[in-house]
Amino acid sequence: MKPLTFFFSLLFLSHASADPFSVNSLVQKALATHPELRFYEAQIDVASAGKTKAGEIKNPDLMTGVGNWRVRDLATNNVTDGPTWAVQLTQTFEWPGRLSLRKAIAQKDIELAQLGLEQFRAALAAKVRTISWKMLAAQEKTKAADEVAKRFQSLAEVLLQRDPAGAAPRLEARIIQASALTLGAEATLARNELASARFELNQLLGEKAEHPLELKMENLTLNPPPALESLLVNARKKNFDLRARIIDVQQQGYEVKLAENERWPSITVQPYIQRQQNETRETQVGIGVSIPLPLWNRNKGAIDAAKAKEVQAEVMLTAQMRQLERDVAAQASHYKIHVEELAKWPADTLDSFRKAAAEADEHYRLGALPLSTYTELQRQYIDSVKAVLESQLGAVDARLQLEQLTGSKLN
């Protein structure tokens, strides 16, 4: 099947002198200026700081003391006295492997933060593209509705000025006038859609809602989707949510190992020196080692909890995989159906309907066309524009969703 190319006309929203943007340029601008990006970037810094903290060794404790040394015999007679002082340094060492496990857990936090930034950037780009195409579609609908509404309004004014004799001509004039009012309301709705899309797009770009914006003409090329199995292979490798689940499972595995490591106590080393002086000078230098005995507390509760969380993470990974496969299959089907539907229409579909509507207006004014045919052609022109644009937007939305799910661009 050949790729399909449809044309969205020029979108003009502000002063004619403003430089128009392409959809891709808007995406790049949003990725450079969106304020929420700084949140995800700061989250990476937070996770990096957490890894630094996880690798820190506890500071030693320094204890000093001074006093007076008194010696008494058994009859409580003073034998001697003098000053005394002591210095003790206490350093706690973690059980081997514990710090590396904590750093590994913190590294997974960094990977999750980086993945979050990557996912947000992809979602932001897709949203900008979606809204941009909606703006272009709204412009087409506005243009068609305005064109037909003005045509009916002009015709109604001419007929009413003639003061037609007889019921039939007068009623025809009222029918045309009513149609002009109805189509004017449709044109107003299309302009509101256009303004709403512009406001949302400006917000994504970090601009004021009322900021003027102009888009260039775009050619929308829709290729048939790749084979489902190919899409699923990409999704299993690159899908953001699935990758986050995999990292979560890995992190929980480290948590289990850390809980098992914490069964063994930390070791505290205490070198010290003590001196006392009276009639003699005595100095004592030594080192003490403190190791809690793991008799009653073997950290079983923490180990069981960590293993249970690991099982939960694995179950969630399996569920995420199934959900991903369903979503990819559904969006691929939606995209394929829209593309196949669009393939049935010639590329000049909208232009041919536009010419037919203009021709009908000319022939009706000459009296060569009945009112019912004229009205039907004008209405069909409006409806055909809506149908084509809705199919195009449906295909664009399904394609962008598919790119989000697979984590890769579709050519």
Report DSSP state, residue 280: S
What pLDDT is stored for residue 12 in this prediction? 32
pLDDT in tens, 180-199: 888 888 888 888 988 898 89
Is the pLDDT assigned to residue 217 strictly greater than 80?
Answer: no
Which H/E stretch holds residue 206?
A: none
Q: How far is CA 110 from the centre of its chain?
A: 18
C-alpha span between 141 and 164 (Å, rounded)? 33
Provide the β-strand partners of residue 272. 88, 286
- Mean pLDDT of the region 247-267: 93
Of residues 185, 130, 121, 177, the one with CA closest to residue 154:
177
pLDDT over 90 percentage in the chain: 43
Report the alpha-carbon distance of residue 282 to residue 299 in Å, rounded.
Answer: 44
64 pLDDT higher than 90: yes
What the block records as the tokens of 320 is 């995420």
Element (H, E) at 88: strand 78-93
Convert the pLDDT of each residue in 101-140 to its tens digit.
999 999 999 999 999 999 999 999 999 999 999 888 888 8
Q: With bands split at pLDDT 50, 70 and 90, how would you rate the model's confidence at 388?
A: confident
Residue 295 or 329, more confident: 329
d(CA 200, CA 193): 11
CA torsion through residues 110, 111, 116, 122, sign: positive
Mean pLDDT of 223-241: 93
pLDDT of residue 308: 96
pTM > 0.85: yes or no: no
DSSP 221-249: EEPPP--HHHHHHHHHHH-HHHHHHHHHH
Residues facing 115 on adjacent strands? none
For residue 367, what pLDDT is reported?
80
| Contacts for 169 with CB less than 8 Å, ≥ 6 apart | 159
Q: What percent of the chain has pLDDT over 70?
A: 92
- Which residues does 33 contact at the CB level (< 8 Å), separation at least 6? 205, 206
